[in-house]
Each structure stands twice: as structure tokens, then as C-alpha cells.
Chain A
Amino acid sequence: MHPVLATVLQRLGLGLLTLFVVSIIIFSSIELLPGDFGEAVLGQAATEDTVAAFRKELGLDQPAWKRYIDWVAAVAQGDLGTSFSGRSSSGVDRSREVIELIAPRLENTLFLAAYAALISVPLALFLGITAALYRNSIYDRAVNAATLTTISTPEFFVAYILILLLASLNPIFPSLANITMDTPFLERVYRTALPALTLTLVIVAHMMRMTRAAIINLLASPYIEMARLKGVSRSKVILKHALPNAWAPIATVIAFNLAYLVVGVVVVEVVFVYPGIGQLMVDAVTTRDIPVVQACALIFAATYIILNLIADIIGIITNPRLLHPR
């Protein structure tokens, strides 16, 4: 088999394995719950019967491995279980399917993340590459100092400063990102401008620094010096000699930051009361609505793993050593 294919398949297998172990960890979280959580969910007045029925519904009367298989099978079919909230001690069950809760919010989150990524990735790459090319210039120093400060700042601080400046003092954008299913596209873009801008600022800072470091590292290679000493023009040194070797580090930087973005949305969604999956997860954590937490965690983890996997694979398929084996 071609080494590229072999390595890619190996990485895919490893990714699947990781996902498998992660799913076990997430699944076992329910095992770790204290014994009386039935009462906690259903309320103090719950009868023994309703608690028992609840436990049976969760399958706690069955061995763990069987429940795990059932759970994975259900998740694979898009059934993420039933929320704990909406239940009561009387046994009346007004709870909703987790998938119903998550689906629209996931869409919102992806919208916000894509919005931020579309602005931040090109911007960060541009800033990073130019800072690397003109390193130690005033431009480089300024960009560096600005990004170091941004990195050290909590997301919510950035968010509130933006609210203060762009919503409160100068009411340009709305401070709350209220959107519903029927909000038209342009209206959405306008209403989510501040959360997207917050995420962009944070991501650009991280990404720009990583890009800069990766490019500088690359430009220090002896083959770049050799190309210069062969009289190759500056633009050609970058395009022909640096770029083909830069895909792997750049892909890693992008994937890392998109993964970071996925997590960053949690705080930003809460600040702007944006109806996304992060906000949902935080609410579920507060109310200890375990099925929802599990589902959200699984989605976040899977996104994270897949993004890193993609970066890995880009690194592999652009590696000349693997592309052209001996």
C-alpha cells in the first residue's frame, strides 16, 4: 500500500479509537452520579415508584456494557436520549428529546463559528505571514504586543469592552444576540456581529502568533538560505520554496484554532445570550441535566477530534517524504 494511504488510514483508525474512548468516558459520567440523583432530578416528593421507573428508563437496572452499546447505537441513529428537565415528582413527564433541544442550537453555533472563522482565518494568516516576513520591524512588534495582550485577556472581558464601546456608548450593534429560527440571514449577520467580533479578536491573536512562529521556523531552514544564495527572487523564495513546506504547519495552526473556536463559543454565547449549544450546555450543567451535557460534550469532543485529524491528514498528504517514498 502507498505509505500516504497507509499513514492516513492509521491516523483515521487512531481518531476513531480516540472517539471510542472519549465516548466511554462521557458515557461513564452517568455512572459517577451520586445514588440519590433520581430524587434530585424528580424533586423531594418523588415516590419510590416514580424513582424506580426513572431508573428503569435510564436502564440503571442493566449492566453497564449493555447500556453503553445501546447508547452508542442510539447516538449513531441520532437519538441522544431524553432530557432530565421537565420531569416532576408526580411522574408526569414533560421532558423533551435531547436532539430536539440541540439541533436548532447546534445550527446557531455553527453559524457563529463559521462567521468568526471566515473573518479570522484569512486575517490571522495575513497578519502572521507579514509579521514573519518583516520580523523585528515596528509593524511586527506592534502586532506582537497587541496579540500578547489579547491572549492574556479573558474572552468575556473582550466581549464586555466591545459591548461598552459598540453597543452601550455608541449604539451601533445590539448588545444581545437575539435570533430565532426565522431571523433573516442579513439580520442574523448584524445581530451576531459583536459575538463574532469577540471570537475573531481572540482567535486572530492566537493564530497570528502561531502562524508567525511557524513561518519564521520555516524561513530559518537551510534550504531557504540556499534558495536565496541561488539568486532566487524574494517572491519566488516564498511561493516556491517556503509555501509547499508550509501547508502542514499552517493546517495545524488553523485546525488548532478552529478547535479553540468551538470551545470559545461557550463563554461568548453566554455573554451575548446567544441561543447556541454552548449556552445550552452551561444551563444543563447548572441544572445537572446529564443527557444534555453528555450530548453536548460528545459533539464538542467529536468536532475537536475531527478538526485535529484533518490537520494531521493535510500534514501527511503534503509531506514529500511520504508522497515519494524511496
Chain B
Amino acid sequence: MTQANQDKDDFISPEAESYSAAAEVGFVRKRRTRFERGWIELKKAPLSALFGLTVICIYMFIALFAPIIAPYGEADVFPTPYGPWSPEHWFGTDQIGRDVWTRLIYGARNTMGIALVTTLLSFIIGGGLGLVAAINRSWLDQFLSRAVDVLMAIPSLIFALMLLSIFGSTVSSLIVIIAVLDSTRVFRLTRSVAVNVVVMDYVEAARLRGEGIGWIMRREILPNIMPPLVAEFGLRFCFVFLTIAALSFLGVGIQPPTADWGSMVRENASLIQFAQYDLTAALTPLLPAAAIALLTVAVNFVVDWFLHKTSGLRDEH
């Protein structure tokens, strides 16, 4: 149901019986630039989305300018391990005397950076294959889909643990292993969304016109599956981010001396025992965990809003 039809009450005036096709939807919407439309949407965004966006921006800023913001070097060691919160060390020092605040800042960079690269890689692999499978729909689709079914039958954390035990816990193997495992989910989503688009008449129309596969993929399908993919990117990023944090927490992810939130929790976990004597010290291991939680909550809020917006758009059509 087009709202426009209802708002514009009479395209046939009672007097004149002549019918004008051009007047059916009488209003001409002013075409705005992408930026203008974005700004308008932003102004209408709910509080949770704005909060999410703000948090993400702050995190990105910290990650980009870590060396400038951080008071000390990433691996600088000070004489007092488990030092208390103080003006020199805002959040104290860790088990071998490194400044916790500094490592939190560098941790943003490392944890988010690695998660981002991994997610991108998994989208390149899973998204690409998913598109091909959706268009091809032959033995290739069958093969890929079955293979993904099998890979998804193994819980991904377990699979990751197994592969890490074989290839060792280097950053590159971490990225590749998680990206490949995660790409199965991306493949499924891309394929299922794209399959719905591939059967559309406009894709058939393009095929009947004689268009090549490249045009059909880039111009007919991709623009129409972008919204769910973008939303999925946010969710996959959270998932990857949490997986890497969990692996690091388990001690098989990002290895020291690289600062990383997951392993920081593990390294300082024992401080929690002292909550009754020094609450601030007990909070130290919770800071990186909270940093992780805050980011994922923020991304989820934004994705929720985005999904709401884009699905609303679809209703209009």
C-alpha cells in the first residue's frame, strides 16, 4: 500500500473525467544527496542508536590515535606489579607492572583491528561464494552448501580451538581460522538473501536483455542485498570480536606482549578476590571486559536501528 496514494487524495477530480497517469502520484520528491539523507535519519534516530554511534566513534578515535593518547608505551614495565589506582597509573598496573590504562588503549587498537580484518576477510570469502552459489544454483551451489552445512555442524569455538592447536596461536593463523569458520555464516546469509533477489523479475529481465553475469551481480543483485549484509557485518563483527576475546581469555588467542582485552581479563582475574580490601583493584580485570561489552552493546544498538530502518524501507516498496 503506497502511502502516497492516500495522501494525495484525488488524482481524478470529480469534474474532469480525463485521466492522467502522471498525476497518479502527484508529489515529486526532492532528491537529496546521500549525506543529507543520512543527516536527516540521524536526527530522527532513537537514543540507543545515538548512544551506540557515539561509543563506536570514541572507540575508533582511541584505536586510531592510541600512541598519542596512551601515557606510556604498550610494553613498558614499571617496578610495582599489581599497583593500585593512582595519578601516575589511573587504573593501576598489571601482574608484571605494566600500566593498565595504556594497555587498555592499545588493546582497543589490537582487539578491534584484528576483529575488523577477520570480519572483512570472512565477508570476502563467504559473501563472494554466497553470491556465486545463489546465481549459479547448480552442482557448485550444492557442493558449497553441503560443505558449509558440515562445517557449521562443529561448534565454531571448538573448531577454532582444534585448528589453533594445530597451527599455533599466531595473529595470522587466528585471523584466517576465524575468518574461514565465520565465513560459513556469511555464506548462508548472502546466499539466502541473494537467492530471493535472483528470482526477481528484474533479474530475469536483465538476463533476457542479454546482460553478462558481472552486470547482474554488481548492478542488479548487490545493491539489493546490501542492507541485510551491512547489518550482518555489524553482528558478525561482534561475534568475531567476542570469539577472539574469548580465545585470548582462554590463553590461545592473541599472545603477549601484545595488549589485548581478552588476555588482560585473564591476567588480572585473581585481583577480584581482593574486592573486600580494595574495590578499585578488583575492578581492574573487569575494565577490559566492560570495554568489550560496551562496544558489542553499542554495535548491537546501531544494527537494531539500521535493521529497523531498512526493513521499514522495504515495506514502502
What residues make up the interface of A, taking CB atoms closer than 8 Å to B?
Answer: 18-19, 21-22, 25-26, 29, 32-33, 148-149, 151-157, 160-161, 163-164, 168-169, 175, 259, 262-263, 266-267, 270-271, 281-282, 284-286, 288-290, 293-294, 296-297, 300-301, 304-305, 308
Do residues A297 and B154 form an inter-chain contact, with CB atoms below 8 A?
Answer: yes
The answer to whether A21 and B150 touch across the interface, beta carbons within 8 angstroms, is: yes
Contact B269 A160 (CB under 8 A): yes
Q: Are B154 and A25 in contact (CB under 8 A)?
A: yes
Determine if B176 is an interface residue (Cβ-Cβ < 8 Å): no
Task: Specify which chain B residues have a CB less than 8 angstroms from the CB of A156 in the assembled complex.
Answer: 246, 249, 265, 289
Count residues of chain B with CB under 8 A from any CB of chain A.
45
Is B161 in contact with chain A by the CB < 8 A criterion? yes
**Chain A residues positioned under 8 Å from B289 (CB to CB):** 154, 156-157, 160
Query: With an 8 A cutoff between CB atoms, is B297 at the interface?
Result: yes
Contact across chains for A290 and B250 when beta carbons are under 8 A apart: no
Given the complex, which residues of B lie within 8 Å of A152, measured CB to CB?
238, 293, 296-297, 299-300
CA A40 to CA B150, docked complex, whole Å: 31
Q: How far is the CA of A132 from the CA of B114 in the complex (A)?
A: 38
Main secondary structure on chain B at its contact with chain A?
helix
Besides A151-B300, A160-B289, A259-B155, 5 more A-B contacts (Cβ < 8 Å) are A153-B296, A153-B297, A270-B249, A301-B154, A301-B158
Select the residue from B242, B262, B300 with max chain A CB neighbours within 10 A: B242
Do B272 and A175 have beta carbons less than 8 Å apart? yes
Give 23 CB contacts A-B under 8 Å: A22-B153, A29-B166, A32-B166, A148-B297, A149-B293, A153-B296, A154-B292, A156-B246, A156-B249, A160-B285, A160-B289, A163-B272, A164-B272, A164-B282, A168-B274, A168-B276, A270-B249, A281-B158, A282-B250, A285-B161, A297-B158, A300-B154, A301-B154
Q: Which residues of B contact A157 (CB under 8 A)?
A: 265, 286, 289-290, 292-293
Q: Is B164 positioned at the interface, with any CB of A under 8 Å from its CB? A: yes
When chains A and B are docked, how far (Å) is the Cα of A169 from the Cα of B273? 9
Q: Are A263 and B297 in touch, CB under 8 angstroms?
A: no
**What residue of chain A has the Cβ atom nearest to residue B289's Cβ?**
A157
Give chain A nearest CB distance to B100 CB in angstroms.
15
Known A288-B165, A290-B166: A300·B155 in contact at CB below 8 Å: yes
Q: Confirm or deny: B116 has a beta carbon within 8 angstroms of a beta carbon on chain A.
A: no
- Is B246's CB under 8 angstroms from A304's CB? no
User: Top 8 A-B pairs ranked by shortest CB distance?
Assistant: A168-B275, A157-B289, A152-B296, A285-B165, A153-B293, A152-B297, A263-B155, A300-B158
Complex Cα gap A266–B274 (Å): 25
- Shortest Cβ gap from B235 to chain A (Å): 10
B163 within 8 A of partner (CB): yes
- Taking A25-B154, A33-B166, A164-B275 as contacts, is the C-beta distance between A154 and B250 under 8 angstroms? no
Q: Which residues of A contact B282 (CB under 8 A)?
A: 164, 168
Give min CB distance, B278 to chain A, whole Å: 11
Chain A residue numbers with a CB within 8 Å of B249 are 154, 156, 267, 270
- In the assembled complex, the Cα of A157 lies from the Cα of B276 at a distance in Å of 19
Contacts of B245 in A (CB 8 A): 154
